[in-house]
Chain A
Amino acid sequence: MRLVKITERLLAAIPLMLGVAIIVFLFMRMTPGDPVDIMMGQSGAVTAGEIERLRSEFNLDKPLHEQLLLFLGGVARGDLGNSFQRQQPVTRLIAERLPATIELALGALIFGLLVAFPIGVISAVKQNSAIDRLSMAGAFLGISMPSFWLGILLIMLFSVNLKWLPVQGRIGSDIQLQVVTGFYTIDSILTGNWPAFISSLRHLILPSITLGAAVAAIIARVLRSSLLEILRSDYVKLARAKGASETRTVMKHALRNAMIPTVTVLGLQVGVLLGGNMIVEAVFGWPGLGRLVVDAIFNRDFPLVQGAVMVYALTFILANLIVDVLYTYLNPKIEM
């Protein structure tokens, strides 16, 4: 039954993606700025013929509806077109960079959860204690601190002064790694390349902390408040009255119910982690999708922006689907 529902949801995503494709196509063309103008830049003898030629190469000389049909026809065949600036298929450019972005997002998610869970639980159990106030102040800081600033502070402290961790990149420049999946930590395990594993893990730490700080803060706060509410509920009182230990009461009875709002927020955060990491990727020289997209937007590289936005949209849809599936496990009364 659940698999049927999942399949239904996946099929329902198709018209949604079509809508996204059309909207992003139209928005890019409504944005002021001409890709050919930007591409030509200042240098060289730019002739009228050259500009016309590029325009026709990019199909920009065709009427808008024809361009849209060409684009949608390509999408249906799994062809997102070729990047104007880089003269490479968009699918290929995205596929090369997506693993870096996902690896960083997962690193940030793991960091966020590792920090948020103990803090959220302890703050709720020891409400209004010094540790609660301290960790909630920390969470406030985590939400408010701009990631580029946090990133640079971490680099200055841990990389430049203490020299514990590398400043930037995904792996040391002296390390060679055979790429299998594009996830460097996984690839290094698959190929048994331990120096590469350690190097890629070390490179992952600071960007993960920078990207994950806000996630940790948000999750800790949500978990704390939902746990507080549940700890005051009748069934928790009953569990205590029955003589269940405090640990068992919190971990077994309260936490699972507190997970539902937490997972909802987490689902949204996964989208933010994948889509909102342009700044962290720029600060840490992380060769992911975010940097590619920012460049593409400034260069009005229509096909590349369109392709990337569709990937982001798909990620959000899938993240929401996973959240909905998780609900049914956390509370069997909920149906998809």
Chain B
Amino acid sequence: MSNRISRLFALLLVMGLLVAACAPAAPAPAPAADGSQPAEPPSAGAQTIVVALTGAPTTLDPADHRSRLSETVIRNMFDGLVTRDTTNGVHLELAESAELIDPQTWEFKLRQGVKFHDGSEMTADDVVFTFNRIIQENMIEYPEPHTSPRKGLIAPLASVEKVDDYTVRFNLSAPWPPAMQLFVHQQIVPKAYLEAVGTQGFVERPVGAGPFKFVEGQLDDQIVMERFDEYWGGAPTLPPVGPACVARAIFRVIPEASTRVAALLAGEVHIIQGVPPELIGTLEAAEGVVVKTAAGTQPKWMEMNVNQPPFDNKIVRQALNHLIDKELLVEALYDGRAVVLPGVLSPYNSFADDSLTPYAYDPETALSMLAEAGIVDSDGDGRLEWNGAPWSFVVDSLDEHRTLAEAVVAQLQGAGIDASLRLWEYSVVKPLLDAGERTAYLDDWGDSAFDPVGHMEAKWHGVEAGSPYGRGNFSGYNNPRVNELIKAGETETDEARRRAIYNEAQAILYDDAPAIFLILPEEVEASRANVTNWEPASDSRINLHDVCLE
């Protein structure tokens, strides 16, 4: 008997070792930012708002990510010099004024009396430190010294200098018209605290000057924040001003869309991001749920390889623009929650040319244009031939665009084109696209700064290897005049002249049609009906400062 017990003991020991080996070193319970223990759980009815994110933020350090989701969370704990409303308007936040004192120098006057969560006051030193931490090499020391991945977002910023305690000067390497739209994406960190605890300490217990302070959290699971009662109030031009309305705010990570929708229906969460078009109907039919949209920032098109015949013929590319019924795509796939692209820029871009209208759906014109290019149904079998063989090509795309890509390919097939779809992983197809080996590629390109910079030079400028120019150009399009205009627009500070430059570029691109200009879906989010003062934002920010629960 004792033998049996000892065997059992040995077995339990092995299992225990396995479990112990797998368990992490017990992390200390997270104390609150002021050093005290976490507050007691809120009693029922206390105002806690729960938001479901589509994925996990990668960090809570504003300088150490390239992730929209991270920024969505971070912007509730940190404020920047400037911020953005739910569309594309930029507002002063921690800066009291911003002045372009010469084409390459911005001067910011800072608000006084702004407190960080650790009680210290924000001054010019914090702002200089924040930006130096981004633009200087190897400033982030954890886990190994590296340079901020956000440096590229503000590449023209050469140096930052303190003028006095509440004045900071930003020196640019060249004139940079979209500066303000891009400063929105940089948040101020407290110099003294960060230097004291280091980056490792900072990412574990982030401290900012935003409306909520960090309580506890694990990035893949949930991040809990509570109202910062000494918050300075927020941008005066974006009321309400003052401390946040709700006492606690929680971001939960729910990657699966149908689970997010179920969690909202069950009342477990108050706001959900990323509602897929096919679930909009379910939510609209449900009681106690509100669906809202914001202008989208991910325009979608099908680029055509302009160096591959017959796509090297402009008429063929224009014909395909006439062949696709984009209105039908908007209605059938997006339930009307999308707009047709009038050209290369999103209609919400600050420099979109209003005079351009989308290519009209006109299959007859399209077919006669194709015939002009030698693509006709010569044997009457309902299929178009080119060079004596059925005209056949593959449309490449990514799984996230599957529905749209299938619909576009089906429309091409309906017109007698032997088109087929191939879905890829982006990292696999990208080198092939860069090498010009593919024929047609359906994808999107983010436009959250609402400025042509970040977009025009990436998609429609000719490829200049090792530079930002043409980094997303998968059509091989390379027009010297357009290249010239795109570069001129980047540094032109006079708005009217800048608009004229971009209008000319857009007109040329519209006519050259290196892509089928498809659609721009709206950002669809949903909330419980008792959530008030909440609007989805185009840049996927979820501003919980203003939100209340009834």
What residues make up the interface of A, taking CB atoms closer than 8 Å to B?
2-3, 6, 32-34, 37-48, 50-51, 53-54, 57, 82, 85-89, 92, 95-100, 102, 148, 152, 155-156, 159-160, 163, 166-170, 173-176, 178-183, 195, 282-285, 287, 291-292, 295, 298, 300, 318, 321-322, 325-326, 329
- Tell me how far the C-beta of B302 lies from the nearest C-beta in chain A, rounded to whole angstroms: 17
Q: How far is the CA of A318 from the CA of B20 in the complex (A)?
A: 13
The 7 residue pairs across chains A and B that have the minimum distance between CB atoms: A33-B427, A48-B466, A95-B24, A287-B221, A287-B220, A44-B153, A285-B254
Question: Nearest B residue to A90 by beta-carbon distance?
Answer: B143
Q: Which residues of A contact B153 (CB under 8 A)?
A: 43-45
Q: At the interface, yes or no: B378 with Cβ under 8 Å from chain A?
A: no
B265 CB–A CB distance under 8 Å: yes
Complex contacts, A176 vs chain B, CB 8 Å = 38, 40-41, 216
List of A residues within 8 angstroms of B430 by Cβ = 33-34, 37
Which residues of B are found within 8 Å of A282, using beta-carbon distances? 255-256
Contact mask B260-293 → A, CB, 8 Å, 1/0?
0011011011000000000000000000000000
Q: Does B346 contact A (CB under 8 A)?
A: no
Which residue of chain B has its CB nearest to the CB of A94? B24
- Closest chain A residue to B298, Cβ basis: A42
Closest to B455 in A: A42
Residues of A within 8 A of B119 (CB): none
> A47 near B155 (CB under 8 angstroms)?
yes
Interface pick from B58-66, B88-96, B381-389: B58-66
Whether B221 contacts A38 by the Cβ 8 Å rule is no
**Complex Cα spacing A148 to B144, Å:** 39
How far in angstroms is the closest Cβ of chain B from A40?
Answer: 7
Beta-carbon contact of A43 and B66 below 8 Å = yes
Bound-complex Cα distance A88 to B29 (A): 19
Q: Does B520 contact A (CB under 8 A)?
A: no
Asked, given contacts A33-B428, A42-B445, A46-B152, whether A167 binds B143 with beta carbons under 8 Å apart, the answer is: no
B253/A287 in contact, CB under 8 A:
yes
- When A169-B252, A183-B23 are in contact, do A174 and B152 touch as well, CB less than 8 Å? no
B66 touches A40 (CB 8 A): yes
Bits for B517-534, please: 1 = Cβ < 8 Å to A, else 0: 000000000000000000
What total of A-B pairs shows CB separation below 8 Å?
A: 198
Q: Give CA–CA (A184, B57) in the complex, Å.
A: 22
Q: Which residues of B contact A (CB under 8 A)?
A: 7, 10-11, 14-15, 18-19, 22-27, 29, 38, 40-42, 48, 50, 55-56, 58-59, 64, 66, 137, 140, 142-144, 146-147, 149-153, 155-156, 216, 218-222, 224, 250, 252-256, 258-259, 262-263, 265-266, 268-269, 425-428, 430-431, 445-446, 448, 454, 458, 465-468, 471-472
Nearest CB in chain B: distance from A183 CB, A: 7
How far, in whole Å, are A54 and B153 apart by their CA atoms in the complex?
15
Report yes or no: B15 in contact with A322, Cβ–Cβ below 8 A: yes
CA–CA, A318 and B21, complex, Å: 11
| B427–A181 touching, CB < 8 Å | no
B467 touches A48 (CB 8 A): yes
- A6-B14, A325-B14 in contact; A96/B218 too (CB < 8 A)? yes
A175 touches B41 (CB 8 A): yes
Q: How far is the CA of A32 from the CA of B429 in the complex (A)?
A: 9
In whole Å, how far is A266's beta carbon from the nearest beta carbon of chain B? 14
Bound-state CA distance A295–B265 (Å) is 27
Q: Which residue of A lies closest to B152 (CB)?
A: A44
Q: Given A50-B152, A287-B220, are A173 and B252 neighbors across the interface (CB < 8 Å)?
A: yes
Residue of B nearest to A299 (CB): B427
Nearest-neighbour CB distance to chain A for B344, whole angstroms, equals 15
Q: In the assembly, what is the distance between CA of A61 and CA of B252, in Å?
A: 37
Q: How far is the CB of A14 from chain B (nearest CB, A)?
A: 15
Set A50, A98, A163, A298: member contacting B24, Cβ < 8 A: A98
Rounded to whole Å, the gap between the CB of B458 and the closest CB of chain A is 7
In the complex formed, the residue of A with least CB distance to B19 is A102
In the docked arrangement, what's the CA distance between A108 and B259, Å?
A: 20
Q: How far is the CA of A174 from the CA of B142 in the complex (A)?
A: 32
Instruction: Check B144 against A57 for contact (C-beta < 8 Å).
Output: yes
Q: Which residues of B contact A50 (CB under 8 A)?
A: 151-152
